[in-house]
Amino acid sequence: MATILSQRTRDDNTRRASDALFRKYDSIEDLAAADPDDVAALVHPAGFPKQKAKAIVDCCRVLRDEHGCRVPEDTETLLTLPMVGRKTAACVRAYAMGIPSVCVDTHVHRISNLMGLVDTKDPTATETELMLITPEDRWIDINKYLVRHGQVVCLPNRPRCEACSVRSMCDRYAKNTS
Helix, strand and coil content of the chain, in percent to the nearest 5, comes to: 65, 0, 30
Alpha carbon distances (Å) from 126 to 103, 116, 156: 10, 11, 18
- Residue 56 parent element (H or E): helix 49-67
Q: Tell me the whole-structure pTM to 2 decimals.
A: 0.88
Alpha carbon distances (Å) from 152 to 13, 71, 108, 165: 18, 33, 13, 12
Is residue 130 a contact partner of residue 117, using CB atoms and an 8 Å limit? yes
The overall average pLDDT reported for the chain is 95
- Tell the CATH topology of 2-96: Endonuclease III; domain 1 (1.10.340)
Which residue type, as a one-letter code, is found at position 89? A
- pLDDT tens readout for residues 53-97: 999 999 999 999 999 999 999 999 999 999 999 999 999 999 999
**Phi-psi region at 8: left, alpha or beta (left = phi > 0; alpha = psi -120 to 50):** left
| Overall CATH class of domain 106-177 | mainly alpha
Q: How confident is the model at residue 38 (pLDDT cuts 50, 70, 90)?
A: very high
Instruction: Give residue limits of the domains in the chain.
Output: 2-96, 106-177
Question: What pLDDT does residue 176 have?
Answer: 87
